[in-house]
Amino acid sequence: MLTERHVRLFRNGSNQAIRIPRTLELPGNEAIIRKEGDRLIIEPAKKPSLLALLATLQPLDEEFPDIEDPPVNDNDQVF
């Protein structure tokens, strides 16, 4: 697989842009770009996992009431 290719820069409104060749496309529709010295590094944006999202939430300090389970009737349907 080709890992390097010469590309041209162009203007898109007030932004500088490049077209990413098909052989170097990134998955998804979002990316992270950062500058390291004279280099620009473009990486696919990783979707946060559910565990990572839950880790950002603050714990709840409130007490929840006890809830009694009602008796099951023969006519109750469970899907």
Separation of alpha carbons 9 and 18, rounded Å: 5
Tell me the average pLDDT of the chain.
88
Position 79 pLDDT exceeds 70: no
Other Cβ atoms closer than 10 A to 20 = 13
Cα 13 from chain centre: 27
Provide mean pLDDT across the span 3-7. Answer: 87
For residue 1, the model assigns a pLDDT of: 62
Segment 32-59 mean pLDDT: 91
Domain-by-domain residue ranges, the chain? 26-50
The DSSP bridge partners found for residue 43 are: 32
**Closest of 2, 49, 37, 48 to residue 23, by C-alpha:** 2
> Which two tokens mark 27?
């998955």
Q: What's the whole-number mean pLDDT along residues 61-65?
A: 89
Measured CA to CA, the distance from residue 7 to residue 64 in angstroms comes to 60
